[in-house]
Amino acid sequence: MKKNLFQKESKEEILSRIHKLNKDSQRLWGKMNVNQMLYHNAASIHIAYGEIKATAQGNWLSRQLMRYIIFKTDIPAPKEKANTFPEVDTVALNINPTDFNAEKNKVVNLLENFPAKPLYPTSPLLGKMTDENWARLLYTHFDHHLKQFGV
């Protein structure tokens, strides 16, 4: 399987990149600031646990295409083209955490302990999920947003 959060070295890679961020890190594209990005990524783990219910997106064909791209290739997510779930859209919801260290520590703790709980059997974007699917999806999601901030 491609890089995922069950692989020790892949998880350490993501954590190392997060530790390179600081409160003044600037985005290379998109609208989120660094605190919003950290909050958003923490929320993605809560979606994987089924703690945040996100609106289903796409149809059968788009789900199959996305499943193939995410699980079978290393094609990166397009910059500024991928829409997020309305429930975790920090910009649209005007969620703007002010404490960088708190957001960073929260997401680091979630990653270090992943998976701390059973993972939800479905994704609102990709449909039926295995634990390995979640580990891959979360890796690609974090990778995309860390690249957004140049790390």
Note the pLDDT of residue 116.
97
pLDDT digits (tens, 9 = 90+) for 46-63: 999 999 999 888 889 999
Extract the residue ranges of the chain whose pLDDT is less than 70.
1
Note the pLDDT of residue 1.
64
Note the pLDDT of residue 34.
98
Residue from 134, 120, 140, 122 nearest 56 by CA: 122
Is residue 31 exposed (0-12), middle (13-18) or buried (19+ Cβ within 10 Å)?
A: exposed
Q: Domain locations in the chain?
A: 8-22+30-148
Residue from 87, 99, 92, 107 nearest 42 by CA: 107
The answer, as to whether pTM is greater than 0.85, is yes
